């Protein structure tokens, strides 16, 4: 008799554990917008965020690195996932390696886990092939901001300048940009009332450029002085105090 009682208790414990696991992997947890942060163990810092958006109608859309993607997905047994009928637009980019690998993983993944705001896709019991981070809904984040004016004056690129001055804020709180000669990185924090604080901003390359029309240090100083911002669609102003506009930007889509 004692044996049968222990068997029943053990069955109940197993049943509860299984129920909790399925609940933990509820569809509502995954039906969000996810930005790729790690691929095959390597951190991803693409010019434009690579992401997937899993909708409540079992449709998936997103950006794979060069092209928009679309398709459908199904979830079974709590943490099994399958992407179906994935297709992309037909743009050709100089480097398609990232996009090809993203599509390979989406087509082959059969399982997922969600932990601490991260979605991990895997095959079988293998380690995560791709890790996505839940994307923020803040308008200023995950856009490529091109510098338009600095201290009230319109900016122009130099003839031999690599690209325009720009920056992008990521969902993980990181900042990356180009000052006209060198690349820079940092971190940021958003608070209520369009308040923003930039931290640990530093140059990561050591190029020397002689004839820049916009002085790089003047652009970088904007991030040290900014404490709030105004945004109107694809237009952004970084401000010091309530009225002092330090720089304005335009959102660029690729």
Q: Compare 120 and 18 and report the one with higher pLDDT.
A: 120
Same fold for the domain at 2-134 and the one at 144-252?
yes
pLDDT at 55 over 80: yes
Token pair 């404490």 in the structure block, residue: 227
The mean of the pLDDT values for the chain is 88
Question: CATH: 3.40.630.10, 3.40.718.10, 3.10.450.240, 2.40.128.270. Which one for 144-252?
Answer: 2.40.128.270
- 4-16 pLDDT, tens digit each: 444 444 444 444 4
Cα-based distances in Å from 17 to 10, 78, 110, 113: 11, 12, 22, 16
- Alpha helices, DSSP H only, in the chain? 2-24, 27-30, 97-108, 216-225
pLDDT at 172: 86
pTM of this prediction? 0.71
CB 85 within 8 A of CB 110: no
62: left (phi over 0), alpha (psi -120 to 50) or beta: left
41: left (phi over 0), alpha (psi -120 to 50) or beta: left
Question: CATH: 3.40.50.2020, 2.40.128.270, 3.40.50.2300, 3.40.630.30. Which one for 2-134?
Answer: 2.40.128.270
Q: Compare 72 and 12 and report the one with higher pLDDT.
A: 72
pLDDT at 22: 37
d(CA 16, CA 1): 23
Compute the C-alpha angle 201/202/205, nearest 5°: 145
Hey, where are the domains in the chain? Answer: 2-134, 144-252
Provide Rg for the chain, Cα atoms: 23
pLDDT band at 27 (very low <50, low <70, confident <90, very high): low
pLDDT at 46 over 90: no
Beta bridge partners of 61: 53, 70
Percentage with pLDDT > 90 across the chain: 70
* Segment (H or E) for 133: strand 130-134
* Of 216, 203, 214, 135, nearest in space to 175 by CA: 203
Taking residues 103-116, what's their average pLDDT?
A: 95
d(CA 60, CA 218): 42
- Is the CA virtual torsion 184, 117, 229, 232 positive or negative? positive
Taking residues 212-224, what's their average pLDDT?
A: 92
d(CA 119, CA 176): 23
- Phi/psi at 190 (5° precision): -105, 140
pLDDT at 210: 80
- 168-213 pLDDT, tens digit each: 999 889 999 999 999 999 999 999 999 999 999 999 999 988 888 8
pLDDT at 243: 84
pLDDT band at 254 (very low <50, low <70, confident <90, very high): low
pLDDT band at 48 (very low <50, low <70, confident <90, very high): confident
Beta bridge partners of 113: 120
pLDDT at 3 over 60: no
């Amino acid at each position: 008799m004692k044996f049968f009682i222990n068997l029943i208790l053990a069955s109940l414990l197993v049943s509860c554990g299984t129920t909790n696991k399925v609940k933990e992997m509820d569809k509502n947890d995954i039906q969000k917008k996810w930005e790729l942060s790690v691929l095959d163990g390597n951190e991803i810092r693409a010019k434009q965020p690579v992401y997937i958006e899993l909708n409540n109608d079992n449709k998936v859309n997103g950006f794979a690195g060069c092209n928009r993607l679309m398709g459908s997905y199904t979830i079974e047994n709590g943490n099994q996932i399958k992407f179906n009928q994935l297709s992309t637009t037909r743009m050709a980019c100089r480097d398609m390696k990232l996009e090809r690998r993203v599509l390979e993983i989406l087509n082959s993944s059969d399982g997922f886990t969600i932990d601490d705001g991260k979605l991990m896709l895997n095959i079988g019991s293998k380690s995560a092939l791709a890790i996505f981070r839940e994307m923020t809904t803040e308008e200023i984040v995950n856009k490529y901001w091109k510098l338009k004016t600095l201290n009230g004056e319109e900016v122009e690129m130099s003839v031999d300048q690599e690209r325009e001055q720009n920056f992008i804020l990521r969902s993980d709180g990181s900042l990356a940009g180009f000052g006209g000669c060198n690349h820079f990185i940092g971190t940021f924090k958003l608070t209520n009332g369009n308040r923003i604080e930039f931290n640990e901003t530093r140059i990561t390359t050591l190029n020397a450029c002689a004839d820049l029309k916009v002085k790089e240090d003047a652009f970088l100083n904007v991030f040290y002085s900014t404490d709030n911002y105004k945004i109107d669609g694809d237009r952004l102003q970084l401000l010091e105090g309530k009225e002092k506009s330090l720089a304005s930007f335009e959102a660029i889509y690729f």
